[in-house]
Every structure is written in C-alpha cells, then in structure tokens.
C-alpha cells in the first residue's frame, strides 16, 4: 500500500507496540503531527512543555516498563533540546528512540532556518543514529532503530527525518517486530568452569549489583546466586532494586555515599563478583585501592566494560540473566558464615544515622513506611537523590528512576510523568531538591493537562544542597552562587499551574500531608522545609579509597 512518510512512521510505531509518544510540534514535523491527529485513537501523544521534558518522559516510560520510550521534536532547537535527555539515557543504558524532523533534503547543509546537524551532535551520546534521505528506507530504518535500542546493552537511537521525506510516498507492508535475542555467545562451558573455580577458592566473597541486573530482569537469579554463594550484597545507584534492598544480605549502597559495611566489606573481601556494573568513579573512589585484596569476577553484556576501569581476574561476557542461570545451575552451595557475621557486625555497629527533626532522610523513611515500598520513585539529582538511595527500600526492579551516569538535574519530573503514563496503577513520586525542581517544574503543566496524578516531594533547603556540601567541606565555606530564593511560594506557584500544593514544616504533619497528596486525582507538590546545613553522610572525598569514609558526629 502506498503511504506518505508520516503515515509509514506512525504505522511502524504501532508495529513496535508503541502506545505513547512524548513530544512538541514544529514546522519540520508538521506532516507527522497531522498524521498523529488522524491516528489519535490508535496512538497517544503527550504534549510536553519543553522538548527536554519529552526525552525524560520517554526515558521514565522505558525504565518503568523495559519497553522502548519514544520522543519527537522538530528541527534545530527542538532537536537540540532533546540532547540532555538522550545523553541521560545513553549513560544509563536506557532504550529510547528519539525522532527529529529536519529541513527538506534540498536545504540540508546550507545553514537553513532551524537546521542543525543533530546526527553529528548526538553521535557521542547515541547507540546509533540515522538520517533518512529516501522515504523508501524509512520503514527499514525505524524497525532497525527499535531493534538496536533494545539489543545487547540498551541505549538511545536517533532517527532524523527531513520534512519532505515525511510527505513523499512509498510502499508500506506491515511486518512483525524482529525478535530481540539475548546475547549468549560469550557464555561458554570454559568461562563458567573458570568462574566456579574462582568462586570455590573464595572465603570472603562480595557481590556488587549494577544496573545491568535491572535491565536484564535478573532479580531472581541474583538472589539465588547470593544465597548459593552465601555472600553479602551491595548495589550501585543504578542497581537499586536489582537486588531487594530490604533483603537481609543487603548491606547498603557502595561508593562515595555508600554505607560503612559495604565500603569496608568490599575493601576487605577476597572475591568481588560484579554483575552488570561499569565501575563508575563514584563507586570505586581510588581505583588503585578499590577491592585491593580481591580477585574480580566481572559479568557484563558489554565487552568494552571489561578491564576499562578496574582489572578483572576473570570475566564472562553475555546477558546477565543468562550468565547467572548458567552459573547457578552448576554452583554448589557455599558456606561463609564467619564472613557473613563479620560484615553483619560492621553493619550493626555503623547504621545510617541523621539528626532528629524534620530532615530529608526522615521524610523519605516515612515515605517508604507510608507506601510500604509500593511506589515508583523518581529523583532529581543532589542530596535528596542520595537520601532516597539510602533510606527508601526498593523491593523490586524498575521502581527507582534516577539519572546515575549523567547526573541530570531536572530529570525526575519528566521521568515521573513518563512512569505514571506507563504504569497508571502505581503510585509515582518524584523526590526533588528545590534547585532541581526549578529546572523543569514547567512540566507540572503537562501533568495537569493530562490529569497525571504524580506526587512531587520537594526537599527544600533554599540552597543547591550537594554543591553547597562540597563548598562546606572542600572550599572553606565559600558559598559561591548556591543560595536560592527562600521566599518563593511553591504552593502558590503550583496552584497557578493547576496543581495542588502543601507546605510541610512539622514532623507531626507528615502523614496527614501524605494522605491528602495520595488521595488527589491531580498532581501534588509537597514543599518540605529542611535545614540548609543537612548533609549526606557517609562521604568519601573524590579520589580517596572508599574505606576512608567521613561520618557525621552525633
């Protein structure tokens, strides 16, 4: 059947099971938007307040479901406004297809109005990208984009389409989506045998769970490995929920703001089994002294991560779930009671603590108790993000949405909306700092417009908290441009957007405010007033070994 490029695009999206697109229109994508108007009963479009919000919503949708998130923007500034969200998805290996319009083919490369080389701009932060120069190639490229976004280590793919290509016609024949096979070529009998030998020699094993466990849906397999190995478990920020953080083997997050039990335990272990993690500097600290007494067994789908930051004694390259299934099937029960007791004592003697009163830590603990862990938690970036990782427990994967690799302030608002669109049955909370909230608070209008009842918990300390914390510790309290406007009335602001707002400044009001917020059928912003001098502890100074923790004195 002959169809226009715009029609082919929409049909290909439907082929791939896409039910929602997040975007913002403009001249170069008008043919596409005209077709979306015609097809509104078959595919939903969410009009965002800014293109960056669209990319974060697509990201949140993907993280909450495991499906590919889709965002759409026009040429020039519309396309460049997607870049931060694309880079965020790239750093955290999130499957996304970003579709951009461009000027007509005859105007490409001529500095035309609203023309940018978006393929060139995004080359370093996409898994792959395409410029569609012939409508006959459009369906093939779109199908390939979805496959590439999901296959192996996931990531964002960009498809740039000149305007006239969306008007030209070509033959379209529906196809079933290409099945994405899990990578298993690197999982050999020899690699499993060698891993079992390394494990068999260990007396003090530790498991580090990374984001790859979440992406591979390997929670059950990692729990089985921990039990068979009889080992304690720690998580990177991206690994939260990959291993249940309410599990008795879990010792807390690892790294710069990790727990003492995890940081000391990993430093003193003799075997570190690293599953789907990339050894970020925020996890390792001084790599020369990271897990310095351990042999590292690294399991990852991406061969580029092996020996990149930390040398592996042995590695297995393949889909994490398949590797763990193969390993577990041949692993005999290990016994490390003395080691488990040693780590448990460190954990018991060094619990996470904070001062009494209304603090970010306490409110997040109460949020967990109130929701019983049955909520999707998105975060912005800063102190509140670390407190969420420390004090909220994640029983399942895909309940913690946060920008780990890029550290994108403003991410959480869009991610929360995308997650709620994807999983309307779930409570969705965006935990924000007041600095991060200002970045993309305009997306409250999007949530209001589409009646998306998210809850935004603003931990408001009137400063850029994490930056100020570093200024306190490393810059002799020279607070350069980190004080915000304390007189801004967030409740009135959000009410102007059409949302509900509540001030929270007393401990005894927490549950009553939560009751109102979660009973609402419109977006709610809770403005929680905390002290500007509250800090995230423990903390490891940049470049220091992770066992050199600074702890707050009480």
Catalytically annotated residues? 51, 113-114, 163, 466
Instruction: State residue 113 phi and psi, 5-degree precision.
Output: -60, 130
SS (H, E, C) 485-499: CCCCCHHHHHHHHCC
Structure tokens given for 525: 């912003």
Residue 260 CA to residue 281 CA, distance in Å, equals: 17
From the list 20, 149, 16, the residue with the least C-alpha distance to 94 is 149
Alpha-carbon torsion, ordered 353, 354, 359, 365, to 10 deg: 10
Q: What is the DSSP letter of 522?
A: S
Residue 253 CA to residue 543 CA, distance in Å, equals: 18
SS (H, E, C) 366-420: HHHHHHCCCEEEEECCCHHHHHHHHHCCCCCCCCEECCCCCCCCCHHHHHHHHHH
Residue 23 three-state SS: strand
CB 96 within 8 A of CB 46: no
Q: Kindly list the distances between the CA atom of residue 122 and the CA atoms of 25, 103, 147, in Å, as whole numbers in the listed order.
A: 20, 17, 19
In which residue are the tokens 């478990």 written? Answer: 233
SS (H, E, C) 342-367: HHHHHHHHCCCCCCCCCCHHHHHHHH
From the list 330, 304, 328, 335, the residue with the least C-alpha distance to 317 is 304
From the list 12, 17, 122, 139, the residue with the least C-alpha distance to 66 is 17
Q: Judge residue 342's burial from the number of C-beta atoms within 10 Å of its C-beta, 0-12 exposed, 13-18 middle, 19 or more buried.
A: middle
Buried b vs exposed e over 361-376: b needs ≥16 C-beta within 10 Å? bbbbbbbbebbebebb
Residue 448 CA to residue 48 CA, distance in Å, equals: 11
Residue 122 CA to residue 130 CA, distance in Å, equals: 10
Residue 236 CA to residue 256 CA, distance in Å, equals: 10
Residue 481 CA to residue 383 CA, distance in Å, equals: 17
Q: Tell me whether the omega of the peptide bond preceding residue 538 falls within 30 degrees of 0, making it cis.
A: yes
């Amino acid at each position: 059947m002959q169809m226009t490029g715009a029609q082919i695009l929409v049909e290909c999206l439907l082929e791939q099971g896409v039910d929602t697109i997040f975007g913002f229109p403009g001249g170069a994508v008008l043919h596409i938007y005209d077709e979306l108007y015609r097809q509104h009963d078959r595919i939903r479009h969410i009009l965002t307040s800014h293109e960056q919000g669209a990319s974060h919503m697509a990201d949140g949708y993907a993280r909450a479901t495991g499906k590919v998130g889709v965002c759409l923007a026009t040429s020039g500034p519309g396309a460049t406004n997607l870049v931060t969200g694309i880079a965020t998805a790239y750093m955290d290996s999130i499957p996304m297809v970003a579709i951009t319009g461009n000027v007509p083919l005859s105007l490409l490369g001529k500095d035309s109005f609203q023309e940018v080389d978006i393929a060139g701009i995004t080359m370093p932060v996409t898994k792959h990208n395409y410029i569609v120069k012939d409508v006959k190639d459009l369906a093939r490229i779109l199908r390939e984009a979805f496959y590439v976004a999901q296959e192996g280590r996931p990531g964002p793919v960009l498809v740039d389409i000149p305007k006239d290509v969306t008007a030209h016609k070509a033959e379209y024949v529906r196809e079933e989506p290409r099945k994405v096979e899990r990578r298993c070529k690197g999982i050999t009998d020899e690699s499993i045998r060698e891993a079992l030998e390394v494990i068999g020699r260990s007396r003090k094993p530790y498991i580090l769970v990374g984001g790859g466990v979440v992406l591979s849906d390997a929670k059950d397999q990692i729990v089985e490995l921990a039990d068979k190995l009889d080992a304690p478990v720690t998580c990177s920020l991206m690994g939260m929920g990959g291993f249940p953080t309410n599990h008795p083997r879990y010792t807390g997050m690892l790294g710069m703001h990790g727990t003492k039990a995890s940081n000391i335990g990993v430093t003193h272990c003799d075997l570190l089994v690293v599953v789907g993690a990339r050894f970020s500097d925020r996890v390792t600290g001084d790599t020369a002294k990271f897990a310095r007494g351990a042999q590292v067994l690294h399991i990852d789908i991406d061969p580029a991560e092996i020996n990149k930051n930390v040398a592996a004694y042995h590695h297995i390259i393949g889909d994490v779930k398949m590797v763990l299934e193969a390993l577990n099937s041949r692993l005999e029960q290990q016994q490390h009671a003395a080691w488990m007791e040693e780590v448990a004592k460190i954990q018991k003697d060094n619990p996470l603590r904070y001062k009494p009163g209304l603090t970010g830590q306490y409110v997040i603990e109460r949020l967990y108790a109130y929701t019983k862990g049955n909520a999707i938690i998105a975060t912005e970036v800063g102190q509140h993000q670390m407190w969420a990782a420390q004090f909220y427990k994640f029983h399942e994967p895909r309940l913690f949405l946060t920008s780990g690799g890029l550290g994108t302030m403003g991410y959480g608002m869009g991610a929360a909306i995308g997650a709620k669109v994807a999983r309307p049955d779930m409570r969705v909370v965006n935990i924000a700092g007041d600095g991060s909230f200002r970045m993309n608070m305009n997306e409250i209008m999007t949530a209001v417009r589409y009646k998306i009842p998210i809850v935004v918990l603003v931990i408001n300390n009137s400063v850029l908290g994490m930056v100020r914390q570093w200024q306190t510790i490393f810059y002799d309290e020279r607070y350069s441009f980190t004080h915000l406007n304390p007189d801004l009335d967030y409740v009135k602001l959000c009410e102007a957007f059409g949302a509900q707002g509540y001030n929270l400044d007393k401990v005894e009001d927490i549950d009553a405010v939560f009751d109102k917020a979660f009973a609402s059928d419109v977006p709610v912003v809770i403005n929680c007033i905390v002290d500007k001098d509250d800090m995230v502890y423990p903390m490891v100074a940049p470049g220091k070994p992770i066992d050199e923790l600074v702890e707050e004195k009480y």
